Amino acid sequence: MDTVTDALLQARARVVHDLAACGLDTAGCVSAVDEALSARRWWADEWPDGAPFLTCLVAQDVQEALLDAAGRWPLCRVDHEADDDHGAHEHELRVSPDLGEDPHWVCEVVGVVVARVGELTGP
Ligand SMILES: [Zn+2]
């Protein structure tokens, strides 16, 4: 198996895992993942050195795609209740870094790393 295909399969597994952790592993959401993967397949074929970044990019693509279709994903599960200054309103986790080989989900409100992408647990 070539590097790009391998990286795409890994990205799919990690993102689908995190959708499932949020109860969003529905047909519609998983097809959003597959759409992101086919768009990124073209990108990665043009730039094979970008293969290590595919999980990071696909996670952000899916996050954007779901915003209209299913809402914010993944919702922050950090307990902010003792932290009223920052506001406890519903917000999503962000992928950090924007372009990296080992992306993590981060709550930007309190600056906490929640999990690696692909290792979210249920809320
Ligand atoms: Zn948060």
pLDDT number for residue 41: 96
Going from the first residue of the chain to its last (123 residues), give the mean pLDDT of each consecutive group of 10, the final group possibly shorter. 92 98 95 97 94 97 94 90 60 96 94 96 79
23: enclosing H helix or E strand:
none
pLDDT number for residue 84: 55
Contact in structure between 56 and 98 (CB atoms under 8 Å)? yes
Contact in structure between 58 and 32 (CB atoms under 8 Å)? no
pLDDT number for residue 78: 87
Separation between Cα atoms, residue 94 and residue 120, nearest integer Å = 13
Q: Give strand pairing partners of 75.
A: 92
Separation between Cα atoms, residue 15 and residue 43, nearest integer Å = 18
Output the CA 67–ligand 1 centroid distance in Å: 17
pLDDT number for residue 83: 53
Burial of 47 (0-12, 13-18, 19+ CB in 10 A): exposed
pLDDT number for residue 89: 72
Output the CA 8–ligand 1 centroid distance in Å: 28
Output the CA 106–ligand 1 centroid distance in Å: 8
pLDDT number for residue 80: 76
